[in-house]
Chain A
Amino acid sequence: MRRSVAVLASLSLLTGCSATNETGTAETTAGRTVATALGDVTVPGAIDSVVVLEGRRDLDIVLSLGLPLTGYPYEGPETGIALELPIAAALTAAKAQGARRLFLADEINIEAIAAATPDLIVGRLEDVEPIKAQLQAIAPVIPVGTHDDGQTWQQDLRLVADATGTQTRAEELISAFDTRRDEIARTYATQIAATPVAALGYDLEGTEVESGRLQTVILENLGATLSAAHRTAGDDAAEFSPEQTLEAYRDAGALLVMADTDDEWAAAQKDALFAQLPAMRANAVIRTDKMTHEGGPITATHVLDLVAQLYDRV
């Protein structure tokens, strides 16, 4: 299928004509044009170099689609993130192909991006907007969404796939995710129905839940019963002080706990109120971190696996 797409693209180039495919992508001699939150963006037909700006959803999508990643942001040691990245294996493979770190996460460096001479830039919309003109002077920019703006990773995956002619791969990834989700939903149907779950962030200032985070979205995809803390958050987020920990998550029979650093995880385990939570007492707890708040197909599948491990403990 990919080959036939390539053949079609070549034919288009040879004949110099333009066409609009079933996804709404216009393919011309200049490349493929897709409609994005920043307006129509035309991406070259052949892409040899892609740079990403944020390092989670954008990076995951580029790696999943097998695009030639050349530059990406990285988390510095000050974040203390201790768990292996969900995308670690794919990133290692990309590094072997020449991908390299360009700048610290949240410290976008335009000069470093320009030096990487990308054919395409993929980044979070909120990162792109303030520096749109500078980025567009370097290469076409495809903005992706976040958990805050309601744009799903599947929509963004399809957008980038349309822009890069990798639609088949995107549909395979989405289908694989759906199959795994359905399998987990069947296997753990009893636990899913009976056990309220919370996906919470823990740090020394307190705990919080947020509706649009990838973990919460995937729990909802599975039809999980979310704990009262999530109902308090509604479509937004809810924060709880350390003293409110037990009150907030007392009903949860299982917890996905996001603790970025080992210090925070150790503090959570030593925390007298956290230790009294029914889920902690039953050891129905799985640790994760902010790198699973957001992501694409690899991270989403990783979160599905974490949820399966969690239900195994219930």
Chain B
Amino acid sequence: MRRLVPGVLVLAVAAVLSVLIGSRTLSPATVLDALTGGGDAEAVAVVLEYRLPRTVAGLLGGAALAVAGVVMQGHTRNRLADPGLLGVSAGSAVAVVLAITVFGVATPAGFLPFAFTGAAAGCVLVTVVGMAASRRRDASPATLVLAGAAVSALLGAATGVLLLLDSAALSTYRFWTVGSLAALRGYDTVAVAAPFVLAGLILAAGHARALDVVGLGDDVSRGLGRHPLRTRLTGLCTVTLLVGGAVACCGSLAFVGLVVPNAVRLVTGGTHLPLLGLSAVLGAALTLFADVTGRLLVHPAELPVGVVLSLIGGPVFIALVIRTNRRPA
């Protein structure tokens, strides 16, 4: 809790900046008026219909991806794991491309059911392949990672073929795959995605103790009364809910699920409940800061939040890897 308070303050600053800053310059007083239902109609529309939904979406998406990263890293016992490792992102991507090429879907709200279905299908496929490839009834983390890599490669190839055949689809898809909050209007998308993200966050919090035990290995886990297969399926379900909800809100954002858990682990250590809590808060804050930065860098135009996250995330992740490797074993 003591560590959570500064994190929440950072998140609050990010949220305030996200509401204050945009391509249409509004004074803080005007924004405050708009938030309280006063002011001119243009300011009310900018703040309530654009900036606030965008802030909520960034908050949900960032928190979901960071928590999904923690769950993935816990289950695979690999700190370089991210939500894309188990076929979730690849499944979402291929489903969204099919939605574009076959059904002509072009809006974030339209991508939602496809992103969820694809995420779930990718996850199930990896689980089935992992279990089939394992000699045991429950696939080991290493088998799951290998199955995830194979299935992701396969789905990635399918996505690539579809996009190569159709450059118009590529044009629509690139906004989704880069990750952007600019296309959000109102709360339609957020309202659909939020229940999934909240369910995933609750499931992850309830799963924290199990993640601590999973880290000790399957045999110890079994000895402590845990059922490894059930635990993994719960974890996969959690990741699917979180990633499906996150990509629906803001597209496919890189690095949040990788960088944030590793950075937070330096503060909280390996115990999962505080790690999950602070990752959620700082994942949301990082996404909002990246979005605000994207609005400022090429003002009055915008850089998509996914581009800014990649620019920030790459160097930060390298620094984290170097720092981690230098620490004594």
Q: In chain A, what residue has the closest Cβ to B22?
A: A243
Is the beta-carbon distance between A241 and B302 smaller than 8 angstroms?
Answer: yes
B-binding segment of A8-16, A145-153, A271-279, A298-306 = A271-279
Contact of B106 among A104, A107, A264, A272 (CB under 8 A): A264
Task: Please name the 10 residue pairs, one residue from A and one from B, whose CB atoms are nearest each other, closest first.
Answer: A204-B183, A272-B45, A243-B24, A241-B23, A272-B49, A80-B104, A77-B104, A78-B169, A263-B107, A243-B23
Q: Which residue of B lies closest to A241 (CB)?
A: B23
12 new A-B contacts at CB < 8 Å, known A241-B301, A243-B24: A76-B166, A78-B166, A204-B182, A241-B22, A243-B46, A263-B106, A263-B107, A272-B49, A273-B45, A273-B49, A276-B41, A276-B45
A204 and B102: CB pair below 8 A? Answer: no
Q: Does A270 lie at the interface of the complex (its beta carbon under 8 Å from any beta carbon of B)?
A: yes
* B191 close to chain A: CB less than 8 A: no
Q: Does A106 contact B (CB under 8 A)?
A: yes
B: residues with CB less than 8 A from A are 22-24, 41-42, 44-46, 48-51, 100-108, 110, 165-169, 172, 175, 180, 182-183, 185-186, 300-302
Decide if the interface of chain B is mainly helix, strand, loop or mixed: helix
Least CB distance from A258 to B in Å reads 14
Which residues of A have CB within 8 Å of B175?
A: 205
Contact present for A104 and B45 (CB under 8 Å): no
The distance in angstroms between the C-alpha atoms of A75 and B167, with both chains bound, is: 11
A214 to B302, CA, bound (A): 28
A105 interface residue, CB < 8 Å from B? yes
List the interface of chain A (C-beta within 8 A of B): 75-80, 104-107, 204-206, 239-244, 246-247, 261, 263-264, 267, 270-273, 276
Assembly CA distance A240 to B301 (angstroms): 7
Residues of B within 8 A of A270 (CB): 185-186
Query: Bound complex: CA of A82 vs CA of B64, how far in Å?
Result: 36
A-B contact count (CB 8 A): 97
13 CB < 8 A contacts A-B: A78-B168, A80-B104, A107-B166, A204-B183, A205-B183, A239-B301, A241-B24, A241-B301, A242-B185, A243-B22, A261-B106, A270-B185, A270-B186
Contacts of A76 in B (CB 8 A): 101, 166, 168-169
Interfacial chain B residues near A243, Cβ < 8 Å:
22-24, 46, 50-51
B103, chain A: closest CB distance, angstroms: 7
Q: How far is the CB of A124 from chain B (nearest CB, A)?
A: 15
User: Among A77, A239, A244, A247, which residue has its beta carbon within 8 angstroms of that of B101?
Assistant: A77
Residue of A104, A241, A261, A271 contacting most chain B CB atoms (<10 Å): A241
Q: Hey, which chain B residues are within 8 Å of A272, CB to CB?
A: 44-45, 48-50, 185-186
Complex Cα spacing A79 to B51, Å = 28
Q: How far is the CB of B167 from chain A (nearest CB, A)?
A: 5
Q: Which of B101, B165, B167 has the most CB of A within 10 A?
A: B167
If A204-B183, A204-B185, A267-B185 touch, whether A78 touches B100 (CB-CB below 8 Å) is yes
Residues of B within 8 A of A247 (CB): 24, 42
Query: Which chain B positions have C-beta within 8 A of A239?
Result: 301
Are the CB atoms of B106 and A241 closer together than 8 Å?
no
Q: A77-B101, A78-B169, A204-B185 given as contacts; is B106 within 8 A of A244 (CB)?
A: no
Residues of A within 8 A of B22 (CB): 241, 243
> How far, in angstroms, from A272 to B41 measured CA to CA in the complex?
9
Contacts of B169 on A, CB cut-off 8 Å? 76, 78
Asked whether, in the complex, the Cβ of A246 is within 8 Å of the Cβ of B182, the reply is no
Nearest CB of chain B from residue A76's CB, rounded to whole Å: 6
Q: Residues of A contacting B167 with CB < 8 Å?
A: 104, 106-107
Q: Is the CB of A105 within 8 A of B168?
A: yes
Question: Quick check: A80 and B106 within 8 Å, CB to CB?
Answer: yes
Q: How far is the CB of A102 from chain B (nearest CB, A)?
A: 15
Structural contact, B104 and A273, CB atoms closer than 8 A: no
A308 and B100 CA atoms in complex are apart in Å by: 35
Please tell me if the beta carbons of B185 and A271 are within 8 angstroms of each other in the complex.
Answer: yes
Interchain CB contact under 8 A, B172 and A241:
no
- Whether B168 lies near A106 (C-beta < 8 A) is yes
B191 to chain A, nearest CB (A): 14
Query: Complex Cα distance A109/B110, Å?
Result: 31
Name which residue of chain A comes closest to B182, CB basis.
Answer: A205
Contact B24 A77 (CB under 8 A): no
